[in-house]
Structure 1
Amino acid sequence: MTGLLVLTLPYRQLTGLLPQVMRGACEQVNKVLYVHLDPAIAAATSSTIPATSSTTSTPQYNAHLSLHQASNLIKSIYSKSSSLASSLDVRVVLSGFKGGSEIPVATNYAIEKVMIDCYAKENIPMLRSRYKNYLNGSDPIVLLKENECQDTRDDSETTDSDVGSDKIANTKIYKNIVAGGTFDHIHIGHKILITEGLLRCTNKFTIGVADGPLLAKKTLTELIEPVGVRIKKLRSLLVDIDPSVEYCLEPIYEPLGPSGSDPDMEMIIVSQESLKGGNYVNSARVERKLNALDVVVIELVEDIHRSDTEEEKVSSSSTRRRVLGTRIREPDLTNKPEFPPYIIGLTGGSASGKSSIAKRLSEKGVTVIDCDKLGHRAYRKGTNCYHKLVSTYGVGILKEDEEINRKALGAQVFGDAEKLSQLNKLVWPEIAKQVHEEVEAAKKAGAEVVVLDAAVLLEADWDHMCHEVWVCMLPKTEAVERICGRDGCSREQAETRLSKQMSDRDRLLRCHVPLCSLWDYDTTARQCYTALDTVMSDIKTIQASLKNTL
C-alpha cells in the first residue's frame, strides 16, 4: 500500500504533533509514503527569514517556511518514520517546500490512499477537489481530531530554532551542486543529504556514484548492488523528491569524478564522514584553476536500530549486515522435490565457514548431508565411479591397496581445465545419486529439513535438488589468511586456490540467503538461526494451507 500524507498545520504545531501524525500515517501504508506540505492550506508562521545568496538568484520558497525550518521539519519526518517503520520507503516531496507545484504532479508509485494531518470537516470538499486525482472519489483519512490540533504556542513567539540563520546552517542557494557516494541500500541518511542539497539547488544536481576500486574497502562488497541498479534507484528517488531539477548521475572510479572538471559547479554537499573528501575535491579544483566549491556539511544520522556490533550512524554497511541470514529473493518451488524434507543447499568457498555453519544447523536437529564425504565414498574400490575412473585414467591412480590415490589423480587433472571437467562429469552424477538416497533415508526418518553441504553445489547444478540455496561468503583477504593458517600454505598458493573457485558474487546470483562468518561465533550463529526460523515458519504455513485444501 502506497500513500500520500498532506501536511497542513503551521510549523510550530506540526513540529510538536509530528510523532502522532507520522505514527498514524505509518499505520496506514506498508510500501511507500509520500509526504507533501500543502502551502495553500498551511497557516503561515509569523516570522521567517528567506534564504538568500550573494551569487545566485533568490529561492522560490513558500511564504510559510524558511530553509532552516524546512530542513528541520524534513529531518524530523525521516527520523520519526524510521523509528516507527524502518522498512517503509518515505519520500518527502519538495514541491510544497520550495514553492513550486502545490500538489505533486506525478509519482513513481501509484498513490492508493491520501491522508491529512488535521482538517475541519467543512473544508473537506476543498481538499477533495485539490487532490481528486489521488482520492478516486473517496475522502482523505484525517489522522488527528480537531481538538488535538490546538496550537499551544503563541504565534508571535520567535526563536532561533524556528527561523533560518547562517550561524545555524548554510542558507545560500546555488544553481549547480554536486555530491558523491555509494548510495547502496538507500537509507534516511542518503535521503537527508540529497534533500539538503535539493533545498539549496535551482538548476542541476550532479552525483558521482562510487564503483570499482572505490568499493574495495567497503564491508560486504559482494552485497553492494551493481552501479547501474544503484543509479536507477537513486534517480527514481530524486525525481520523486524534486522533479524541477536536472540530474546528472554517473559512475565514478576515482574520488574526483565530474567534480574535478566541471567549471559550473558552485557547491558540494557532504556528510561529516566525507568532509575530508570534499576538501580534497577543492584542493584538486584549485590546482586545476577551477573555482573552489562551497562545502555544506550534513550531520550523521544516529542509527536507533543498531546492534552493539554495528556503527552508531545509519549506514549501508549496517544495512548489508542485516541482510545476512535473510532472503534476498524468494525461492521458486516450481518443479522442486516434494517435501518434507525441505532441502537447503549450503555452499561457499574455501575457509568460508560453511562446515562450521553446517555443524551449528546439525546441533539444531537439522539433518546434514556432507557431500565431501559422499565424494570420498564414490571413490571407494568396487563402486561404479571407481571403475569409470580407473578405466579413464589408468591404474597409475591406484595405491598399493588398489584404492584410488586422490593426490595422483589430482596431479593428472588439476591445471588442465578439460581434464578437470571430464573428472567432474564422472564423479558429480555419482555423488548426486547418493544425495537422493540420503534424502530418502532422511525422509523415512521423519526429517523436516535437510541441509545439503556442498562446496560445488552450484558448479554441479545440484541446486535443482534444493528448495533454496544459502551461500557462505567471506572477503578474499580473510579467506587467504584462514587458508594459510589452516593449511600452512603460502599466500600465493591460497590466492591461486581461490581464483579457481566460483566467486561469491557469482554464487549470490543463485542464492536465496547470504551468510558470512567474518565476525564472532554468536553473530554467525544468529544469521543461521534467523534463516532457519524463516524456513520452519514457511513449512508450517504450507502444511496449514495443504490441510485447508483437503
Structure 2
Amino acid sequence: MYKTGLLVLTRPLPVLKSAVQSVLEEAATVVSNTLYVHIQPSSSSDTFKIRNVPCSKDFRCLMTQLYSSSASLCNNLDVRILLNNVSNLPLERNLKFDLKRPCDIVLIDNQLIADEFQNKSKSLASLMKDGLKGPAEVHTLSMPADSQSSMIEDDKVESFDNVVLGGTFDRLHAGHKIMLSEACFLAERQITVGVTDENMNRKKTLCELITPTEKRIEGVLDFLQDIKPCIEHKVVAINDMFGPTISDPDLQFIVVSEETKRGGEIVNEERQKKGFTVLKQHVIELVVDSCHNQYEEEKISSSSSRKRLLGTVINPIVPNRNIPSSPYVIGLTGGIASGKSALCGRLEKLGAGIVDCDKLGHEVYLNGTPCYNTLVEQFGDEIVGKNGEIQRRVLGSIVFSNPEKLQLLNRIVWPEIGKLAEDKIKKHAENGKEIVVLEAALLLDAGWNNLVHEVWTSVVPPGEAVKRMMDRNNMTEEEANKRLKSQLSNKERVQRSNVVLCTLWEYEYTQTQVEKAWSLLQKRLTERNSEHSKY
C-alpha cells in the first residue's frame, strides 16, 4: 500500500461517471491515506499536459459522485479533487500539480499516458510544482473502452469571482468536501468561508467533542489550499448566521445545503436592506450515510461522527508510572446528574471493581477519624451535632459562602478520601479484580487522577442535567443551575479525559457505548501485556 496517491482521470465525463465505484474500489487497494484526484476529461494520447477544464454540469456531477461514493466505498481515504485547472477563464500555461503531501504513486485510466509517465524523471516530475519528493510508481486502472455516445459532454456552468459559504466543518467529511469543492469549483478569484464559533455550537449534539474553532479553520484552509491554491481563501470565525455575507458587498454566490437553504434566503433579505446585490445560490443535496446505525442520522453528519467517538480514546493515554500496573484503574468522573453511578453499575456487571468516592467522603467525616479531629479544630464545635457527628449541612453553610474556608475544607478532606480510595483499590486487587473503576465527581478537582491509569468522563447537556436534578433532587431550576455552574464544565472535563461516554439517549445506546469502551479497554490491556512480556 502507498500512503499518498494521485489519481489522474482522462476519459470522457460520462464514462468516468459510470466507473466511479470501480475506480474508487481499485484505488482503495493501492492507497491508504490521501487520494488526490485530477480530472482532465477527453485527454488525447499525445504528450500529457495539465490543461484548462471549463465548469460544467457533468464535471460537477462527477465531483459530487466521487465524494459521496468515497464515504461508503473507501471511508479510510482522504479524497481531495484538484480544481486548480477548472475555470471558465483562460489559465496560465504549464500548470503543475501543487500537492501538500508527497505523492508515492500515480494511478491513471489511460495506458498510453501511463507508459509516458513511466519515464518519471522527465514527464511525471515535470508536472509537479516541487518535483517528485521521491520515486513514484505508476499504476494503470482497469477501465472499459470509450463509446461514441460517451463523448458527448454537458453544458457549461456559470462561475463567479467571489463565492461564500458557512458551516461548522467539524472533522471534514464527504458532505463538507462537496460544499467546499462546489464553492471552489465556481470561484474564479476568492472563496470566503465562515466557520461557526463555540457560542454557535452550544446546542449541537455532543458539542464538547467539537474540534476547537482554530483547528477547524486550519482544517478548512488546508483543504482549500490543497484543491485550488490559485484563488484567494478567506476563512473566518463567525458568531451569527450571517458572518461576512452582510458586510461584504462584493460577494456574488452562496453555497448552501438543504438544511441551510432558508438561511441563505434570510441572508439575501438582509443584503437587500443594505443595498447589496442578492447572492445567487446553489443547494447541495444531503449525502446519505450508508453506514449509519439506528442512533445516528441518515445523512453523513458531524453529529454521527462525534457519536462514534463515544467509548473510544479521544486523548492520548499517558502511562502513570507512579501507581502499580495492576489492577488497571479507570477514573470515572462527570458533572452532577451525568449518569456516573449508572455507568459504574454497567461496568461492574462486566467485571470491574467499583470504588465510590462519594461514599468514602462520608466515611472521612465520622467521629474518631483523623479528618474528624482536624475539622473540629479548624471549624469549631458548632459543626458537631448532638450525636457527636459532624453536621455536613452546617459545615456546608460555613464554607460555601467563603471561598477561603472551602479551600481549607478541601485541603483537609480530599487527601483523606484519596487514602481511603487507595486502600479500596488494594482490596479489589487482593480479591482478584484486574480492572477497578474509581467513581468521583471531583476526580480532576481533587487530583485523584494521579491514582488512575485512564480518565473516563460522562457527559449530558446542561439542560438535561438541570432537568434531572429538578426531578431527582427536588431542586428548583435556579438551584440546579447554580450547582451546575459551581462545577467544572463538560468541556473542561473532556479536555482532560481519555474516553467520553454520554447517557443522554436510550438505555440500549448507553449499554452499547459501555460495551464498546470495555472491549477497546480489553484490547489495550492485551496489547500492553504483550509489550511487557517482550522484556
Determine the structure 1 residue equivalent to 2:148.
155
| Alignment CA distance shift 1:269-1:521 (3 Å) | same
| Alignment CA distance shift 1:129-1:424 (3 Å) | same
Q: How many Å apart are 1:313 and its aligned residue?
A: 1.4
Q: Partner amino acid for 2:143? A: C
Correspondence list, 1:166-181, <5 A: 171-181=157-167
| Alignment CA distance shift 1:336-1:228 (3 Å) | same
Correspondence list, 1:346-357, <5 A: 346-357=332-343
CA distance in 1, matches of 2:158, 2:196: 27
Q: Which runs of 5+ in 2 are unaligned?
A: 126-130
Determine the structure 2 residue equivalent to 1:75.
64
| Alignment CA distance shift 1:114-1:334 (3 Å) | farther
Determine the structure 1 residue equivalent to 2:257.
271
Name the SS for the 2:449 alignment partner. helix
8 Å Cα contact 2:455-2:497 kept in structure 1: yes
Moved more, 366-375 or 311-320: 311-320
Q: Partner amino acid for 1:294? A: K
Correspondence list, 1:93-104, <5 A: 93-98=82-87
8 Å Cα contact 1:36-1:104 kept in structure 2: no
| Alignment CA distance shift 1:115-1:337 (3 Å) | farther
Q: In the alignment, does 2:104 pair up with 1:129?
A: no
Q: How many Å apart are 1:444 and its aligned residue?
A: 2.1
Determine the structure 2 residue equivalent to 1:49.
none
Deviations 1:293-329 (A, max 9, x none): 1111111111112112222211111111111111112
| Alignment CA distance shift 1:41-1:445 (3 Å) | farther
Q: In the alignment, does 2:514 pair up with 1:523?
A: no
Determine the structure 2 residue equivalent to 1:362.
348
Number of equivalenced pairs: 521
8 Å Cα contact 1:174-1:267 kept in structure 2: yes
| Alignment CA distance shift 1:24-1:157 (3 Å) | closer
Q: Partner amino acid for 1:78? A: Y
Q: How many Å apart are 1:373 and its aligned residue?
A: 1.0
Correspondence list, 1:296-375, <5 A: 296-375=282-361
Q: How many Å apart are 1:110 and its aligned residue?
A: 3.2
Q: Partner amino acid for 1:425? A: R
Name the SS for the 1:450 alignment partner. strand
8 Å Cα contact 2:106-2:136 kept in structure 1: no
Name the SS for the 2:351 alignment partner. coil
| Alignment CA distance shift 1:204-1:97 (3 Å) | closer
Q: Which of 78, 95, 119 matches 1:89? A: 78
Q: Partner amino acid for 1:81? A: S
Q: How many Å apart are 1:286 and its aligned residue?
A: 0.6
8 Å Cα contact 2:165-2:254 kept in structure 1: yes
| Alignment CA distance shift 1:310-1:138 (3 Å) | closer
Determine the structure 2 residue equivalent to 1:164.
155
CA distance in 2, matches of 1:388, 1:85: 63
Correspondence list, 1:369-448, <5 A: 369-448=355-434
| Alignment CA distance shift 1:112-1:400 (3 Å) | farther
| Alignment CA distance shift 1:440-1:288 (3 Å) | same
Moved more, 475-484 or 89-98: 89-98
Determine the structure 2 residue equivalent to 1:251.
237
Q: Partner amino acid for 2:530? A: A
8 Å Cα contact 2:104-2:136 kept in structure 1: no
Q: Partner amino acid for 2:308? A: R
Q: Partner amino acid for 2:522? A: M
Q: Partner amino acid for 2:505? A: W
CA RMSD across the alignment = 2.3
CA distance in 2, matches of 1:212, 1:547: 45
Q: How many Å apart are 1:216 and its aligned residue?
A: 3.3
Name the SS for the 2:190 alignment partner. strand
Name segments (4+ residues, structure 1) moved above 6 Å: 99-103
Q: In the alignment, does 2:38 pair up with 1:36?
A: yes
Determine the structure 1 residue equivalent to 2:494.
508
Moved more, 350-359 or 525-534: 525-534
8 Å Cα contact 1:13-1:149 kept in structure 2: no
Q: TM-score, normalised by structure 2?
A: 0.92
Correspondence list, 1:55-74, <5 A: 67-74=56-63
Deviations 1:405-445 (A, max 9, x none): 11111111112211111111101101111121122222222
Q: TM-score, normalised by structure 1?
A: 0.89
Identical pairs, percent: 35
Q: Which runs of 5+ in 1 are unaligned?
A: 45-60, 166-170
CA distance in 1, matches of 2:94, 2:305: 35
Deviations 1:224-261 (A, max 9, x none): 22211111111011101110110111111122111102
8 Å Cα contact 2:10-2:41 kept in structure 1: no
Q: Partner amino acid for 2:137? A: D
Determine the structure 1 residue equivalent to 2:128.
none
Q: Which of 136, 155, 180 matches 1:194? A: 180
Q: Partner amino acid for 2:258? A: Q
Determine the structure 1 residue equivalent to 2:108.
116
Q: Partner amino acid for 2:452? A: C
| Alignment CA distance shift 1:100-1:324 (3 Å) | farther
| Alignment CA distance shift 1:294-1:306 (3 Å) | same
Name the SS for the 1:214 alignment partner. helix
8 Å Cα contact 1:303-1:314 kept in structure 2: yes
CA distance in 2, matches of 1:383, 1:491: 37
Moved more, 402-411 or 97-106: 97-106
CA distance in 2, matches of 1:240, 1:101: 20
Q: How many Å apart are 1:403 and its aligned residue?
A: 1.6
Q: Partner amino acid for 2:107? A: M
